[in-house]
Structures are given as structure tokens and as C-alpha cells.
Structure 1
Amino acid sequence: MVAVAALAAALSVWVWAAPGAAAVRLAELIGTRSRRPRPRLLPERPRPAAKAAAWRAASIELCQIIVAELAAGKTPGDALARAVLSVSAPDPAVLAPVAAIARDGGDVSAALLRAAPALGGEGLVRLAACWRVSVTVGGGLAALVERVGGSLREAEAHRQDLAAQLAGPRATARMLAGLPVLGLLMGAGLGMNPLSFLLGGPAGFACLVVGLSLNATGVWWTNRLVARAEGSPVTQEPATQGPTTRGQGP
């Protein structure tokens, strides 16, 4: 029992001492190089958050390639088509119609809007707005796309910094979720029998219900605060509809 109590205490300390913001940020910078692929028996389905991050990265890469192609003297349609073929998109088949329409001189803005996913497609939406402005009022496409790419990079950097800062609250939620089990293990390790008290009478059952309710409320509230911080307007790309509004003038 003493060994169980020591193990529970060590586990609680490990959960409490979660990696801080600096450690999480450092892991993000070097983790992709140090990780080794693990064999999997079943194909892993990408999470929505990971897929959205991949689409945001692809949008930034798309803007950079378009600017480079335009600077090399390519026409806007050819620049977009070559960029679509070169970009590392999560689902290349989604962007394939955009390349075909760009080569044929069709409605590129509408094609980009159709290809933009619900999660992570903000960059494609803004690129479509730039294309509409360039076609409608004759603005410089290279300058518009370069500005959009810069704003997307800044927003992504801010999002990553925020995720690193929220590592502490996430660790707190994990700690709260594991406290009841750790408490039972530590009580058993000290020679007590907490389950017999909690399940042996009305008083113990009331304590169990109240304790679990308070713990669940704490976990829910912490996760809610983290979700609100992640979805705050500060983390969203500014002025998403700006170019579109300018292009709709009389």
C-alpha cells in the first residue's frame, strides 16, 4: 500500500509539473525534427484541429509561391496554377479544380471560395478576395497577395504563442480530472478504505456526489476558459472581408 501511495504521489507531482510555455514552444520548434514515425496497425484519422492547421500552412505557402511566380513574370492564372501544383495541401484534390480554372481564365475567386474548407480556409477566402479586387479595380495582385501572406503568418505565429501560453491551464484541467483517483489511491495506501465510506452510507455517498460534481465543474470551467481564449477575436485574421468590401464599390 505504501508503494501505491508513493506511486500516486509521484503521478500527481508529474501531472502538476506540466511543461511550461517555454518548453512547449521549444518542443514545437524542434519536435518535427526529433520525432520518429511510429508503426501503426490502423490508419490514423487526422484531427480537425491538425487538419485546419495544415490548411493554414498551405495557404501561407500558396501566397508565397504566387508572389514568387508573379515576380518571375508569370501571368496571374499561370502563377496560381503553378502554385497549386507546388503547394503541400492536406487534400490536393480540393485545389485541383482551382488550377484548371486558373489556366482556362475562369472565375478564380469563386473557385477558391469553393475550395476553402470550413476549418482553416481563411487564407483561401482572403486570397479569393484579393483576386476579386485585382480583377474588379485593377489592383496590383502581387502586393495584395504578399500583404495577405504576411498577415496570415503573423496570425499563425500569434496562434502558436497562445497555444504555448495555454499549456498551463490545460495541465490544470488534467490535474483536476485525476485528483479523485489519486485521492482514492493515496487513502488506500495509508491503510484507509475510502470506498467503504463513500459507498457505505448516505453521508459518504453525498460526499462522493458533491466532490465529483465540484471536480467536473472545475474541469469544465477550465476547458471553457481555454476554449474562449483560443477562439477570441484576437486570434482571428484581421480584416478578412476588407478587400471584398473595397471591390464592391459602385
Structure 2
Amino acid sequence: MFGLITLAIGTALLPLPGGGAVRRLRRGAAGPERGLGGRATRHATGAFVLLGPAVAGLVGGWALGVSSVVVLLGWWARRGASRRIARTLDVTRDWCASLGRLVADLRSGAHPEAAVRRAAADSGSEVSALLDRVAATVHLGGDVERQLARPGATGLSSDVPARLGRAWSLATTHGLPLALVLDAVRCDVAHRLRFADNVRARMAGPRATGTLLAGLPLLALGLGEAVGAGPVAVLLGTSAGGALLVAGSLLVTTGSWWIHHLTTRTIR
């Protein structure tokens, strides 16, 4: 009984939003996340994923074990997708802020190399590495556009380096104000970021509906036990009930993953 309730609760929690916002708040309040803590969290999660189905199988039989594997795989896939989306949004916000600082320094009369280095110093690791490459290329008189070309990348912020390189090349080739051209890139990145945030907010309703629907099996189990129908004994004690438990877990997990996919596809 306990194992089945745990499985139902895990299935109900499957479509809940990821913890990206919580992690960002924690980083803002306590500084960067430590590597040791991150490794410990990953190890604990891996142990839970490996041992959870085994414990469920020992407690409730093969059907509960297989269903636990299905639910945990679905949860793992959604967790990874949520982390990638949170990372994409964080990098996009970092690009927007870095371009804003770069444009402000250029408009104040700073040399392009010095402006890029100051923007890189205040940026995250990914953006800072690319801006350092830009500063080094400018210092050596190289081709910024070729240095920032990133073919094959996908995602909300993936084409920002290439757009930055094209804008830089356009300004230097045709004698346009560099600050003006880069500000146009910044405005476009900010617009796409606002659009992504707006879409996420509008998709809160469908996500909540998916959470409610995924929790209905748990409610049904509770009502069945309350009226004496004994659904738990059927699901765990018979071959047909075990097959239904596995099939139901697979359907609920697939539906939760599909809802997550539909509500986040515009910002992948």
C-alpha cells in the first residue's frame, strides 16, 4: 500500500514546474553554487533513481517496480528538459545585460576592446568566454564574425554570438556606429526574452491542468479504498491488475511529458 501511494504521488508531482527559479533565487542570495554541493545532489538523485524502483519492487511486486521505473524515467527526462530551459533563459538574460553594458560603454566613448573586456568581467562564464574571444580578436585586428560563428547550435540564445559577429562586421565594414548596431542586437534579444517569459506565464494554466489530471489516479485509489472496493489489492495482487498499473503509469507519464513539451517548445 505504501509503495503504491508513493508511486501515485510521484506520478502526480511529475508535471510540476522545475526548480530553475528556486535555484536562481538561491544563487542570488548565497552566491554561486558550490561544486561539492552540486555533486552531492547529483549523487543523491542518482541513488534515488537506481534504488527507488528496486525498493518499490520488493515492497509491492514486479508491477510496482516496473511502474516506478516508468515514472522515474519520465521525471528524469522532464527534469533534464527543465534544467536546459532554465540554463537557456539564464544565458539569454546574461547576453542581454552584457550587450547593454557594452553599448553603454561604447556610447560613453570607450575603446571597443576595453568596452568588451569590461562587459566580459561582469558576465557569466559562457558569455564571458565568448566576449574575451571578441576582445582578443579586436586587439589582434582579426575577423570577429568568423571568430563567433557557431554553426549547428539551437536554442533561444544560440544565435546571439553569430548575430553579434555579423553586427560587428557590418559596423566596421560600412562605417556605422558600433553602439547603434549592437544596440539593435540587444533590443532583439530583449524582445525574444520577453516573449519567452510571456509564453511561460500563459502556459501556467495548461501546466496546472496537467498537474490536476495526473493527480486524479491517486484520488481514485483513495476513493476506491474508502468504499471498500480494494483497488490496491487488485493492482498489486493480480496479473491483470499489474498490467493495468504499468499501462496506467506509462500513459500518465507520457501525457505529463507531452504537456511539458507543448508548453515549453517555444523557448527550447
TM-score (norm 1): 0.64
Separation in structure 1 between the aligned mates of residue 111 and residue 104 of structure 2, nearest angstrom: 12
Separation in structure 2 between the aligned mates of residue 132 and residue 82 of structure 1, nearest angstrom: 20
Separation in structure 2 between the aligned mates of residue 81 and residue 115 of structure 1, nearest angstrom: 25
> Which residue pairs with 1:43 in the alignment?
38
- Structure 2 vs 1, CA of residues 149 and 94 (structure 1 numbering), >3 Å: closer, same or farther? closer
- Structure 2 vs 1, CA of residues 206 and 115 (structure 1 numbering), >3 Å: closer, same or farther? closer
> Which residue pairs with 1:218 in the alignment?
255
What's the RMSD between the two structures over aligned residues? 4.1
The amino acid that maps onto 1:59 is W
Does residue 1:76 correspond to 2:71, yes or no? no
Separation in structure 2 between the aligned mates of residue 86 and residue 206 of structure 1, nearest angstrom: 56
Mapped contact 1:69–1:79 kept (Cα < 8 A) = yes
Separation in structure 2 between the aligned mates of residue 149 and residue 109 of structure 1, nearest angstrom: 17
The amino acid that maps onto 1:169 is P
1:126 positional shift = 1.4
Aligned pairs for 1:96-135 (under 5 A) are 96-113=132-149, 119=155, 120-135=157-172
Aligned length: 211
- Structure 2 vs 1, CA of residues 206 and 121 (structure 1 numbering), >3 Å: closer, same or farther? closer
Q: Which runs of 5+ in 1 are unaligned?
A: 20-27, 232-250
Structure that is richer in helix per residue: 2
For 1:42, what is the secondary structure of its paired residue? helix
For 1:102, what is the secondary structure of its paired residue? helix
The amino acid that maps onto 2:135 is A
1:160 positional shift = 0.7
| Higher mean C-alpha deviation, range 102-111 or range 40-49 | 40-49
- Structure 2 vs 1, CA of residues 89 and 188 (structure 1 numbering), >3 Å: closer, same or farther? same
Mapped contact 2:168–2:178 kept (Cα < 8 A) = yes
Q: Which runs of 5+ in 2 are unaligned?
A: 43-79
- Structure 2 vs 1, CA of residues 105 and 77 (structure 1 numbering), >3 Å: closer, same or farther? farther
TM-score (norm 2): 0.61
Mapped contact 2:150–2:159 kept (Cα < 8 A) = no
Separation in structure 1 between the aligned mates of residue 95 and residue 240 of structure 2, nearest angstrom: 59
Mapped contact 2:120–2:129 kept (Cα < 8 A) = no
